[in-house]
Each structure stands twice: as C-alpha cells, then as structure tokens.
Amino acid sequence: MESSTAELIPAYKFYKGMGLMKEDGGTCAICLCEFEEGEELKTLPECVHSFHVGCIDMWLYSHSNCPMCRTDAAPSPQVSFQEEEGDGGAVEVGDRNSGVTLEGIIVHSRPDVVIQVR
C-alpha cells in the first residue's frame, strides 16, 4: 500500500516569530483560523504554504495538491529529507533552487530538529 502525501510531510509546533511567519502568526486557509502558539502545523515543501495538521491531512487524503495554489503537495524528487549530525540534529528539507528558507521550525516528534528549505 502506497503512503499518502500527508504521511510524507513532517509536523511541527508553531511559535510566533519563527520561520516565514515572523510578522504575524498566519492563518490556516482551510479552517480560516489563526495559528496559535503550540499548535501543530505542516508546511508543504514545494509552495511553502502552512496549515493545521488536521486540516491539511484531511485535504491530502483526497487531494494531491495545495488547497491554496494547487501546486503538487508531494515532495518532489528534488526535495530531500536528510539529517545532519553536526548541527544538533538539524534536518535539511529543500529544493536547492528555490531560494526559500524556513528557520526555527521544530518537528513535533523531535523538538531538537530544525527544518530548513533552501
């Protein structure tokens, strides 16, 4: 049985002032609620749109694209998930050609892990 796209995208806890959402907390485009401190989110790797875990997982079980921009939600072959030992267990996630960076995103299952998209 093939894994769903939802299972391929890591969840992380949201904290105001982190990553691309430094100025305001952001809003989930599915439920239209603002992100609150400590809530679990997922950020789609290709378009970098963020959603509540429950909202995007439900969407991704019946769709394969972003609900906002319709970009394919599955990580592309260019996107790599690799752990680096040197930086406190940092995980690099990214398309090296995108120029997009997410800083300070903590993966829920590993609070010592930081996700960066380049």
**Torsion angles phi and psi, residue 82, rounded to 5:** -140, 140
In the chain, domain spans: 5-116
Q: Is a pLDDT exceeding 70 seen at residue 1? A: no
Convert the pLDDT of each residue in 98-113 to its tens digit.
444 445 554 555 555 5
How many other C-beta atoms lie within 10 A of the C-beta of residue 83?
11
CB environment 50-68: b (16+ within 10 A), e (fewer): bbbbebbbebbeeeebbbe
State the pLDDT at residue 73.
Answer: 87
Q: What is the pTM for the complete model shown?
A: 0.60
Amino acid at 65: N
How does residue 80 score in pLDDT terms, banded at 50, 70 and 90? very low
The continuous run of DSSP H or E covering 56 comes out as helix 53-60
How does residue 97 score in pLDDT terms, banded at 50, 70 and 90? very low
CATH 3.30.40.10 assigned to domain 5-116? The reply is: yes
State the pLDDT at residue 89.
Answer: 46
Convert the pLDDT of each residue in 3-48 to its tens digit.
588 888 999 998 877 665 555 668 999 999 999 999 999 999 889 9
Is 63:74 a contact under the CB 8 Å cutoff? no
